[in-house]
Amino acid sequence: MGVRVAVAGVGLHPFGRFDGVSNTDMGVHAVRVALHEAGNPSFGAAFCGTAYSGVAAGHRVLGQLARTGIPIVDVEAGCASGAAALALAAGAIRSGERDCVLVFGMEKMPKGMIRSSFFEPWREEAGLAATPGYFALRAQRLMRESDVRLEDLARVSVTNHAHGVHNPNAMYRKPVTVEQVLASASVCDPLRLLMLCSPNEGAAAIVLSATPPAQGPAIRIAAAQVRSHLAGNVLGEHTPLSGLVDDGMPTPTEMAARAAYEEAGLGPDALDVVELQDTDAARHVLSAEELGLCPRGGGGRWVRDGGGEMTSRLPVNPSGGLLSKGEPLGASAVGQVVELVRQLQGRCERPLVTVREVDRDEDLAEHASIMAPPAAPWRARRDVPRGESGRASFVWQRAVSVTGADGGRRRPVSAELTVFTPYLTHPSTLDKHAI
């Protein structure tokens, strides 16, 4: 198993649009907050997740803080950039190579349709780049092969925007109705404008350490897994409209989830909260299915039954998801982890999810997760009241600090966090109109 990896500090720059604030400025802000929270430790390496920041982006941030002289590695993996950076950092500590590592992500996305060198020119010219043409094809296929309806996709947007109202770091903080979503501009059938996330700006940072912090709950990373695609499905986000047709081919999300759960020894039934990838409303439903939150092909029924809502057994995207926060590629996954850490520590300024008190080796524990399915050895005993919470994304978490059944807060003992990246894709295309 190697050295256990603890989260020593986290920092976040809000997501949105910030004229006059540079990408480097946002990175400096997030890193400074995380380092301060961690007690300003010396760190042996830094991994910076980013896709649009240019050459040596991480160096520019740490240069302004006079924290250079160490390995500083920029990591680009599309939407998974931050998650990949976190996995590399956790691996460096787990192997014993480093005692303390800084992870941060930042992005200042261009407005409008996102162009990417990942797609060949002919695909863009034919309107078949991932955003938004492919997203729409994927949504059409989902609706054709399952019971997902247009109203279900609208309800996903309604739920995530309702959650985002309470998130001070989200870009969009106004509720919407099913009618408003369906009446919003049609971007690429069946997707409406309010079913797509907005590329935007932001930064987030995490300090990882082999030594748990002296104060507060010890949030640990139990597993960090990254997977790329296997050549297969024609309608995979990795190779749109090319490759072999093989519907039995596992998706990157499924492979990463399976590996992370196996390493952590957990499964979906042990989760109390999930943050998953909702680049668009259909992706949200597919993510839930691929993570095991509902049966394959059962995403429509899951949505109609209130799956993922704050009042459900398993709230999904209490942060508001990407539909509310927007998606600055390099910062997105790191920001989701920051939010989940704060949630587990009871430091979030928004409604908390309900966690279950569990029995394991006579310890009390509460679980949380993001972008994840199964869990296992822990036995749920009873529900406990809500407290104060936070968010994250491509992550699986488990904490041991509980709110007692009488409403009193029990002293945090420890926590674990599993992180995995779902897939490599590109964000949606249009900035939303003011909601």
Instruction: Judge contact between 409 and 403, C-beta under 8 A.
Output: yes
Residues 6+ apart with CB under 8 A from 107: 23, 50, 51, 52, 53, 201, 202, 203, 328, 329, 330, 331, 332
Record the tokens describing residue 203, joined without a space. 């930064």
Instruction: Judge contact between 95 and 7, C-beta under 8 A.
Output: no
Record the tokens describing residue 100, joined without a space. 């303390």
Give the other-Cβ count within 10 Å of 328's Cβ: 34
Given a cut of 60, whether residue 364 has pLDDT beyond it is no
Record the tokens describing residue 129, joined without a space. 């780049």
Record the tokens describing residue 418, joined without a space. 């599993």
Least confident range of 52-61, 72-81, 289-298, 392-401: 392-401
Query: 244-257 pLDDT, tens per residue?
Result: 555 677 888 999 99
Q: Name the pTM for this structure.
A: 0.81
**Distance from C-alpha of 72 to C-alpha of 107, rounded to nearest angstrom:** 17
Summarize the confidence of residues 189-208 as an average pLDDT. 96
**Distance from C-alpha of 313 to C-alpha of 336, rounded to nearest angstrom:** 21
DSSP classification of residue 272: S
Please report which confidence band the pLDDT of residue 215 belongs to, taking 50, 70 and 90 as the band edges.
confident
- CA distance readout (Å), 301 to 149, 285, 294, 304: 10, 10, 9, 5
Average pLDDT, the chain: 79
Q: Which amino acid is at 238?
A: H
Residues 6+ apart with CB under 8 A from 356: 272, 366, 367, 380, 381, 382, 383, 384
DSSP classification of residue 313: S
**Cα dihedral 181/182/185/190 (nearest 10):** 110
Instruction: Judge contact between 101 and 418, C-beta under 8 A.
Output: no
**Cα dihedral 367/76/111/131 (nearest 10):** -80
**Distance from C-alpha of 299 to C-alpha of 147, rounded to nearest angstrom:** 8
| Cis status, amide bond into 175, omega within 30 of 0 | no
Least confident range of 9-13, 159-163, 405-409: 405-409
In the chain, where the domains are located: 5-110+200-420
Query: 46-56 pLDDT, tens per residue?
Result: 999 999 999 99
The 3 state secondary structure assigned to 118-136 is CCCHHHHHCCCCHHHHHHH
Enumerate the β-bridge partners of residue 152.
none
Give the per-residue pLDDT at 428.
Answer: 35
Query: 20-48 pLDDT, tens per residue?
Result: 999 999 999 999 999 999 999 999 999 99
Handedness of CA 59, 62, 64, 66 (dihedral sign): negative
Task: Give the DSSP H or E segment for 425.
Answer: none
Structural fold of domain 5-110+200-420: Peroxisomal Thiolase; Chain A, domain 1 (3.40.47)
Q: Where are the alpha helices (DSSP H) in 251-363?
A: 252-264, 281-290, 299-304, 321-325, 329-344
The residue count for the chain: 435
